[in-house]
Structure 1
């Protein structure tokens, strides 16, 4: 995953949502179809995709997909 577009594609593919790049800045409560179960599914998909752990506690505090993307791609 090398770009926000790749991340959006992963979200759509793995979670069955229809989001675009503009949606990543929205509060998670404003993302159509979002729920807490999807957060765990996304975390698992991100770890599989990146090959490394994503900081779970920080992901739980994230208020939008952009922050989750940043946490998943930080070095």
Structure 2
């Protein structure tokens, strides 16, 4: 999963949130339906997909889906 489009597909498939490109740079608190439980479920799904741990502190500091994606790609 290297592209932001793949990342959005994972969120839709694994988390069940209807997110699209218009939500990528939106603050997480404004993403429709987003809550902290989605963050934990997303982190678990991402680690399962990429096969390695992701820095929880870095993800917690991310303020948008795009920033979470950047953390995942650079990890």
TM bucket normalised to smaller: over 0.9
Q: Which runs of 5+ in 1 are unaligned?
A: none
State the TM-score, normalized to the length of structure 2.
Answer: 0.95
Aligned-residue CA RMSD (Å): 0.9
Identify the residue that residue 30 of structure 1 maps to in structure 2.
30
Q: Which runs of 4+ in 1 moved over 6 A?
A: none
Q: Which runs of 5+ in 2 are unaligned?
A: none
Identify the residue that residue 56 of structure 1 maps to in structure 2.
56
Give 1:47 shift. 0.5
Q: Residues 6-45 of structure 1: matches in 2 within 5 Å?
A: 6-45=6-45
